[in-house]
Structure 1
Amino acid sequence: MTKPAFIITIDTEGDNLWQKHDSISTENALYLPRFQALCEKYGFKPVYLTNYEMAVDTRYVEFAKDVIRRDAGEIGMHLHAWYSPPDAPLTADDWRFKPYLIEYPEDIIRGKVDYMTKLLEDTFETKMLSHRAGRWAFNEYYASLLREYGYQVDCSVTPHVNWASSPGNPAGKGGTDYRRFPQQAYFMDPDDISRAGKSTLLQVPMSIHLKHSAFMNSVKQGYDALRGKKRSPSVNWLRPHGGNVEKMKRVAAQSLAQGHDYVEFMLHSSEFMPGGSPTFKDEQEIETLYRDLEQLFSWLSERTVGLTLAEYYQRKVK
């Protein structure tokens, strides 16, 4: 019997983008080798979904080229529209509002996808096959561009999560509502990315499960609606936030028990650096993160096999 895949996805981007609104630094590139070594210890192969500022950082480029050369992971594309070239201001202050790529005119969306794809392929001398949208915002036009540029896999879908209450452009409608999207991998319908179809683009949704029963979630959301609040159901992700290793195991175990043929983990590259995110503020919290990762990876190594997104795609098309 084929073991389920363990897919590690890292949104590889600048330092502390949650709080910085006027500049970008990329010191977290120096902290990635430690994480890479941990992955290799357990035979796992991370996917570094790479943003513009990291793709032009010489330290990261050297690290990533080594990963590619040793077939120890994969480099994919990640795109934050508000500063990824070509420059095309959408709001009064894009750095502050961080508009979603899907909020831009279609010609601008195409230009940014074109630029990032060519930059990554020229820099790393390898075809870009995998992608995750910045701020999880995705739609049918975006998916059509990925197919056109030869991408095989997207992993932007976050089941049960509605990003509509997370604004980008203040005049916009917020992010993508994924509450009715599939939880397992599927080839996307070109006309409706929320359902399976016959396109060549494989969607690999994040491993996310509801915290509460359907009844309890309906009660909570009904109460929120009465208060004028639009919230997603409470969920658990396969994602560290410090001291949550048992919850991560439960998410993975639930996926496997439901017959999923993969579990998908995510973190931001800046979260490996003390002070690189609001979540891990100092060295002590980073050490807690690594203790959790050691336990999680050890547990998963007995139940899964490490695959990149591109390798998982090949498994699905065989």
Structure 2
Amino acid sequence: MSKPAFLITIDTEGDNLWQNHDKITTRNATFLPRFQSLCERYNFKPTWLTNYEMAIDPVYIEFAKDVISRDTGEVGMHLHAWNSPPFYDLTGDDWRNKPYLIEYSEELIRKKTEYMTLLLEDTFQRKMLSHRAGRWAFNAYYASILVELGYQVDCSVTPKVDWRRSIGNPQGQGGSNYFDFPQHAYFLDLNDIAKPGDSSLLEVPMSTQLRHSPLVNSFKRVIKQFRGKEYQPSVNWLRPSGGNLDRMKSVVNEALSRGSDYVEFMLHSSEFMPAGSPTFKNEEQIEILYSDLEELFSWLESRTTGMTLAEYYLKFKGK
């Protein structure tokens, strides 16, 4: 029996987009080789899900072309609607509000997705096969466009997470609600992306875990309701946040114990750079991150097999 896949997904984007509202820089591209080297030491293969500003950055292009040429990773597509051509000001201050792609018209959803796909394919001379939506916002129409463009894998779904309180367009309804979505890989139903179907697009949801037991969550929900507030359960991710190594291992153990044939890790490219994110603000915190990554990867080396998203697709389809 083959080992489960370890899927490393990196949202490859500009520096500290959480706080930068009037400019986008891409200095984090110079910090990526260190992480790539770490992955290669453990025979793991990242998927660099790349957005517009990185796709036109010469340093990143050189780095990613080298990764592709040595077959030590994959480049996929990641789309932030507010700063990806063709440009359209949806909210009057899109760089601050960061509206979701699914809040734009269907015409703009199509045009932006087509533009990013062609840009990446022309730049890297590779068919784009893997995708993650910007800010995790995904729907059936978006999925249908990906199918038309020949994508094989999407990894936008975050089970147990409801993004509706995370606002894009101030006049909108917030992000996607994935709370009850499957926690396993499945081919999408293009009429209802929460259900398995017969499309050619494989959904590979993020590895997540409710932090508390159902009993504790029920108790917390009652207290919140008594106070007139909405309760949203806390969720552990297979995602470093500084000192959360045990929680990441718990996510892996739960996934494997329920028979999952993969675990999926994520981070942003800017989180490898000091002050590139709110999470890792200085060199000391970056070193803590790498210490956790070393231990996590060493622990996973004997338990999993490193794959890109496109490689996992082939494995899944061949089952």
TM-score, with length taken from structure 1: 0.98
In 2, Cα distance between the equivalents of 1:282 and 1:221?
A: 36
Given that 2:7 and 2:264 are in contact with CA atoms closer than 8 Å, whether structure 1 keeps it comes out as: yes
The one-letter amino acid paired with 1:120 is L
What is the match of residue 224 of structure 1?
224
* 3-state SS in 1 of match to 2:19: coil
Q: Please report how far the alpha carbon of residue 224 of structure 1 lies from its aligned counterpart in structure 2 after TM superposition.
A: 2.8
* 3-state SS in 2 of match to 1:188: strand
The one-letter amino acid paired with 1:186 is Y
What is the match of residue 256 of structure 2?
256
Structure 1 residues 228 and 132: alpha-carbon distance in aligned structure 2, compared to 1, 3 A threshold: farther
In 2, Cα distance between the equivalents of 1:230 and 1:110?
A: 35
In 1, Cα distance between the equivalents of 2:129 and 2:251?
A: 27
Q: Please report how far the alpha carbon of residue 223 of structure 1 lies from its aligned counterpart in structure 2 after TM superposition.
A: 2.9
Structure 1 residues 176 and 231: alpha-carbon distance in aligned structure 2, compared to 1, 3 A threshold: farther
Identical pairs, percent: 67
Given that 1:165 and 1:230 are in contact with CA atoms closer than 8 Å, whether structure 2 keeps it comes out as: no
Q: Please report how far the alpha carbon of residue 75 of structure 1 lies from its aligned counterpart in structure 2 after TM superposition.
A: 0.2
In 2, Cα distance between the equivalents of 1:144 and 1:230?
A: 33
Is the counterpart of residue 24 in structure 1 residue 24 in structure 2? yes
What is the match of residue 245 of structure 1?
245
* 3-state SS in 2 of match to 1:195: strand
Given that 1:28 and 1:272 are in contact with CA atoms closer than 8 Å, whether structure 2 keeps it comes out as: yes
Aligned length: 318
What is the match of residue 59 of structure 2?
59
The one-letter amino acid paired with 2:191 is D
Q: Please report how far the alpha carbon of residue 221 of structure 1 lies from its aligned counterpart in structure 2 after TM superposition.
A: 2.7
Is the counterpart of residue 153 in structure 1 residue 167 in structure 2? no
- RMSD after superposition: 0.9
In 2, Cα distance between the equivalents of 1:83 and 1:14?
A: 11
Q: Please report how far the alpha carbon of residue 69 of structure 1 lies from its aligned counterpart in structure 2 after TM superposition.
A: 0.2
Given that 2:42 and 2:297 are in contact with CA atoms closer than 8 Å, whether structure 1 keeps it comes out as: yes
Q: Please report how far the alpha carbon of residue 192 of structure 1 lies from its aligned counterpart in structure 2 after TM superposition.
A: 0.2
* 3-state SS in 2 of match to 1:267: strand
In 2, Cα distance between the equivalents of 1:85 and 1:238?
A: 31
In 2, Cα distance between the equivalents of 1:166 and 1:242?
A: 23
What is the match of residue 192 of structure 2?
192
Given that 2:28 and 2:272 are in contact with CA atoms closer than 8 Å, whether structure 1 keeps it comes out as: yes
Q: Please report how far the alpha carbon of residue 226 of structure 1 lies from its aligned counterpart in structure 2 after TM superposition.
A: 4.1
In 2, Cα distance between the equivalents of 1:296 and 1:229?
A: 37
In 2, Cα distance between the equivalents of 1:301 and 1:223?
A: 42
What is the match of residue 100 of structure 1?
100
Given that 2:220 and 2:231 are in contact with CA atoms closer than 8 Å, whether structure 1 keeps it comes out as: no
The one-letter amino acid paired with 1:274 is P
In 2, Cα distance between the equivalents of 1:218 and 1:56?
A: 48
Map Cα deviations across residues 87-121 of structure 1 (whole Å, 9 max, x no partner).
01100210111000000000000010000000000
In 2, Cα distance between the equivalents of 1:112 and 1:230?
A: 35
Map Cα deviations across residues 164-199 of structure 1 (whole Å, 9 max, x no partner).
000000110000000110001111111100011111
What is the match of residue 206 of structure 1?
206
Given that 1:271 and 1:280 are in contact with CA atoms closer than 8 Å, whether structure 2 keeps it comes out as: yes
In 2, Cα distance between the equivalents of 1:112 and 1:53?
A: 14
* 3-state SS in 1 of match to 2:81: coil
TM-score, with length taken from structure 2: 0.98
Given that 2:80 and 2:100 are in contact with CA atoms closer than 8 Å, whether structure 1 keeps it comes out as: yes
Where in structure 1 are there 5+ consecutive unaligned residues?
Answer: none
In 1, Cα distance between the equivalents of 2:298 and 2:224?
A: 39
What is the match of residue 6 of structure 1?
6
What is the match of residue 142 of structure 1?
142
Given that 1:11 and 1:49 are in contact with CA atoms closer than 8 Å, whether structure 2 keeps it comes out as: yes
Once superposed, which parts of structure 1, at least 4 consecutive aligned residues long, lie more than 2 Å away?
221-232
Map Cα deviations across residues 298-318 of structure 1 (whole Å, 9 max, x no partner).
000010000000000000111
What is the match of residue 47 of structure 2?
47
What is the match of residue 293 of structure 1?
293
Q: Please report how far the alpha carbon of residue 148 of structure 1 lies from its aligned counterpart in structure 2 after TM superposition.
A: 0.4
What is the match of residue 281 of structure 1?
281
In 1, Cα distance between the equivalents of 2:45 and 2:96?
A: 34
What is the match of residue 272 of structure 1?
272
Given that 1:157 and 1:204 are in contact with CA atoms closer than 8 Å, whether structure 2 keeps it comes out as: yes
Q: Please report how far the alpha carbon of residue 247 of structure 1 lies from its aligned counterpart in structure 2 after TM superposition.
A: 1.1
What is the match of residue 124 of structure 1?
124
